[in-house]
Structure 1
Amino acid sequence: MTLRTTGTGSDQRSDLHWDLRWDATPATPRAVVLVLHGGQENSTAANSWWRVPVWWLAPFAWTARRAGRDLAVARLRYGVRGWNGTQASPLADTREALDAVAARYPGVPVALVGHSMGGRVALRLLGDERVRLVVGLAPWVESADVSAHRYDAHPGARLLVLHGLTDRTTSPSASRRVVEAMTAAGGDASYVGLERDGHPLAMRRRTLDRLLVAELRHTLRGVPLEDQRLDVAERRALEPGALARL
């Protein structure tokens, strides 16, 4: 049975609560992987597990489970569908969900895996010391966030961005610039541009899944990259400071 946690997040209306579904709940996990879905620029309509941006991320959570039985895995559904300007609705929901994760597993580091708008949320939380790893999947990068240093990371954070190079919804080049800036500031970041893949990241799923599992195992569990099922190019793509095309 899937376990659930709910909360009110950015909006106190009971019908707009966020919802956390736990896909893996080991008693003493090494880390928690929290999967964040995409959404719209503006919408305060109630969200649902049956909306495409939400259920689209379920397979990524299942992939994360392959990284190790000692990893807890959860999916967050935001209360509303949009970012909504300065309200930043999903960011407030995710911060509250992180509090719930910390209450369940005190002191356990968290990896955020976010697609599109969920990637923007994850990038905004690079400075949260509970977050050990951010994996941005075709993230929504805002230049205003960059100029305001809202993506600044704490010293122990790691960032991996995977972006389809034919994406016309969010910008692969903007994602690359975020990684370049974090690396230039002395941070641990890597960028992988996926050839022949677009915003849904559906065309290169085998490659993406290998990279995601390897990253989770390496950063959260300490498994060396050379001991994983990666070819030479894939292994180099996950090295700190890498700017790769696969």
Structure 2
Amino acid sequence: MLTRPANAARTREAALGRSLGPAGTPQGVALLLPAGPPEGTGRPTRLSSAAVRQLARALARAGRRDGLAAHVVQYRVRGWNGDAADPVRDAMWAVDEVVRRYGDVPVALIGVDMGGRAALRAAGHDAVGSVAALAPWLPADSVADEPVKQLAGRRVLIVHGTDDARTEPESSYRLAERVKKANRDVCRFEVHTDGHTLSGHRAEVGALTADFVLGSLFERDYARSLADAFAAPPPLGLRMPLAAGFGSAAYH
């Protein structure tokens, strides 16, 4: 009987989900990085990408007139897996694939949970100009050693619910503090009383993310609160409250 090699899971290839956006060559690309567990070499589940797929559709709608395409990255394996940092490798591959398909277009990485950490790590790719990390998974015991040099020259948005019981909000604040020392284009929003999925303020988080992505990729003017968050010194710009109803007229 044939046996499966021990490293078979890691020989699978990453992929880009179907393009959401213009039929022709896009003018900018948003890559959505799903959540996942700390460990796991099995195939990712469809459920893991459901949340970012919804956000990808919303971004494509919001950026239609600008020529924005959105793709969900399909990981090789479902977990982070320690030093292997598997989703970071997949994110870097995905940016390379965007460049191969579309040429020199600006790229934004948008990650949720584990995908948020992967987006921050993969920001060093030359094609990436902006990163949004939503409820990023940043283990408290390693956040002080999390790399930040790759974020120099990038625009960075972090969003975290204050009642998140799965990923530590203070870890993302501590990371934002470190990044802000070398990069003024960093801001962080707090979603008060919301949890890990940010479901209580889904529309506001979606609108904020869209405003950030479109402003960063296409040089649109940011909404006032986002512009203020970038301009404010710590801790104000890193603990900016996300207002209820943010962007409702433009988002729906």
Residue aligned with 1:181, SS: helix
Deviations 1:19-75, CA, capped at 9 Å, x for gaps: 211222453322110000010111111223x2x222121111012113322111100
What is the RMSD computed on CA atoms of the aligned residues? 2.1
Do residues 236 (structure 1) and 205 (structure 2) align? no
**Structure 2: runs of 5+ lacking an equivalent:** 1-8, 243-252
Q: Which residue of 1 aligns with 2:182?
A: 185
Distance of 1:97 and 1:126 partners within structure 2: 12
Q: CA offset at residue 174 of structure 1?
A: 1.1
The structure 2 residue matched to 1:66, chosen from 52, 57, 61, is 61
Do residues 36 (structure 1) and 36 (structure 2) align? no
TM-score, normalised via structure 1 length: 0.84
Do residues 11 (structure 1) and 6 (structure 2) align? no
Contact (CA 8 Å) 1:45, 1:80: kept in 2 or not? yes
**Structure 1: runs of 5+ lacking an equivalent:** 1-9
Q: Which residue of 1 aligns with 2:204?
A: 207
Q: Which residue of 1 aligns with 2:220?
A: 223
Deviations 1:116-175, CA, capped at 9 Å, x for gaps: 000010010122221111000000114576444523235431100011110011111111
- AA matched with 1:124: R
1:87-236 counterparts in 2 under 5 A?
Answer: 87-142=84-139, 146-148=143-145, 150-225=147-222, 233=225, 236=228
Larger % of strand: which? 1
- AA matched with 1:168: A
Query: Greater Rg, structure 1 or structure 2?
Result: 2
- AA matched with 1:11: R
Larger % of helix: which? 2
> CA, structure 1 residues 138+126, in 2 after alignment: closer, same or farther (shift >3 Å)?
same
When the two structures are aligned, how many residues end up with a matched partner?
Answer: 227
Q: Which residue of 2 aligns with 1:4?
A: none
Q: CA offset at residue 82 of structure 1?
A: 0.7
> CA, structure 1 residues 136+89, in 2 after alignment: closer, same or farther (shift >3 Å)?
same
> CA, structure 1 residues 59+240, in 2 after alignment: closer, same or farther (shift >3 Å)?
farther
